[in-house]
Amino acid sequence: MSSTGFLSTSNLYEPEKERILRYIDQWLENGGERSPGWLVSLLEKRLCEYHQAEHCVAMSTGFWSLVASLRLSALDAPEVIIPSFTYRRLADVVFWAGKVPRFVDIDESTLAISPESVERAIGSNTAAILAVHPIVNCCDVSRLTEIAAKYAVPMVIDAVESVHETWQGKRVGSFDVPEVFSLHASKLINGLEGGYVCVNDSAYAGRLRDFRSRDKSNARRLKPGHWLASDMPDIHAAFALAGLDEIEENVRHNRKIYRAYQRELKGVAGIRLLAFDEAQQTSFKNIVVEVPGVSGEGRDRIVRNLNQADVLARAHYSPPLHIKSHEYPVLCPESLPATEHAARALLNLPCGFRVSEADVTLVVAMIKSLLSYVPGSCDG
Ligand SMILES: *Cc1c(COP(=O)(O)O)cnc(C)c1O
């Protein structure tokens, strides 16, 4: 429907080509392939400044950055506490870290991992907490940090969705726990593919560098499972550096799209736009709306109809992980009512670099006509 074809829910930011090439030239002048990791080091330095972190270690993907952080943090116990309403591969992360995921509920109002639910799940089997920032705003870092400290359980934060944000005025990436980010093309900073971890502990940063190293002798020197060739290619760092230079333009575009949705959805009955907390710094990256209704059928019908028109809206974090089937053991001893409600009610609408304000007007017009559809008549 738009000039670019499909309307995606991914950020897909494209930095200026000249800027990317300038970084690549800089690398070539400094040895190019004979100095692997040169641009990656520059990126790490820049990301430290951006996040106000002491150390940053870049790796091949966000996924392996999470696995590495869990492997290095977890206690010698079997379970890792994670939300169920989250990134579709989060349980796989725990599996690859050699642990069993234990699902907990979210907080109904923030949609973030619930600190109360985490506290109830902690026991002698707990190896770590893997907290995750939700797509809109942040999880309760202060409460979760208190709980982790109270029970002496290590915590890792999947901060992929909160890259540009602050929590109570403090930069995400600067908290004194491993915080993990992704540079996949769908995320705020597009490095084509890639991930990184921000930490303040220099010994921990050293262990992360050993973990990802190309140097195979590490495999013999390190504890089993504490090494996996997972370096980031320098070309990816060139993209990410250019994206980081242009972050303000990226966010400005996202804010414009968010404002357009606010305007267009105002007064539309039956739909609620999830609001960014503008008292904090935020990226305005994703558009999430709630379509109330118990069964989820109304939401799914809207998604289906939009998809047929090349509008790639998606059910938000649905199905939740605890109701998916897994080829490895998982634990879910409590019911997760807030998760199950959210998984039926929310959807992601088109956003990001390739979506224009005119696209927003069209998408909302389509939604309005779908909302006025009367069940029983012909479902297009
Ligand atoms: C995308 C994503 C990841 C994984 O990052 P990759 O770089 O794609 O491996 C992890 N957690 C969350 C919340 C994500 O959205």
CA 43 / ligand 1 centre spacing (Å): 19
pLDDT band per the 50, 70, 90 thresholds, residue 218? confident
Mean predicted confidence (pLDDT) in 223-249: 93
DSSP string, 239-284: HHHHHHHTHHHHHHHHHHHHHHHHHHHTT-TT-EEPPP-TTS----
How far from 218 is each of 56, 152, 195, 203, 228, CA to CA, in Å?
A: 20, 30, 21, 16, 9
The fold of 247-313+350-371 is: Aspartate Aminotransferase, domain 1 (3.90.1150)
Q: Whose CA is nearest to atom 1 of ligand 1?
A: 182
> Rg of the chain's alpha carbons, rounded to an integer?
21
Domain ranges in the chain are 17-245, 247-313+350-371
- In this model, does residue 83 exceed pLDDT 70? yes
CA distance 35 to 52: 27
**Region 239-244 average pLDDT:** 98
Specify the CATH number of the domain 17-245: 3.40.640.10
CA angle 2, 365, 298 (to 5 degrees): 110
pLDDT digits (tens, 9 = 90+) for 183-217: 999 999 999 999 999 999 999 999 999 999 877 77
Q: What is the pLDDT of residue 375?
A: 58
For residue 270, the Cα-to-chain-centroid distance in whole angstroms is 27
Which pLDDT band holds residue 165 (cuts at 50, 70, 90)?
very high
Residues 6-16, mean pLDDT to the nearest whole number:
96
| Average pLDDT of every residue of the chain | 94
Q: Report whether pLDDT(249) > 90.
A: yes
Residue 268 has pLDDT above 60, yes or no: yes
Closest-CA residue, ligand 1 atom 6, reads 62
Query: How far is the centre of ligand 1, averaged over its atoms, from the C-alpha of 24 (Å)?
Result: 26
Which residue's structure tokens are 């206690």? Answer: 75
Alpha carbon distance 83, 100 (integer Å)? 13
Confidence check: pLDDT of 42 > 80: yes
Asked if the model's pLDDT at residue 379 lies above 80, the reply is no
**DSSP type of residue 289:** E
CA of 57 to the centre of ligand 1 (A): 16
Report the pLDDT value the prediction gives residue 1, as an integer from 0 to 100: 47
187 is a catalytic site residue: yes
Rounded mean pLDDT of 259-268? 96
Name the closest-CA residue to atom 7, ligand 1.
62
Which of 11, 160, 228 most suits a substitution to test ligand 1, by most atoms within 8 Å of the C-beta?
Answer: 160
CA 236 to chain centroid, in Å, comes to 18
pLDDT in tens, 135-161: 999 999 999 999 999 999 999 999 999
Q: Which of 84, 137, 182 to mutate to test the pocket of ligand 1 (most atoms within 8 A of CB)?
A: 182
Mutate to test the pocket of ligand 1, among 158, 172, 196 (most ligand atoms within 8 A of CB): 158
pLDDT tops 70 at residue 46: yes
- Which candidate in 99, 170, 187, 324 is catalytic? 187
CA of 34 to the centre of ligand 1 (A): 30
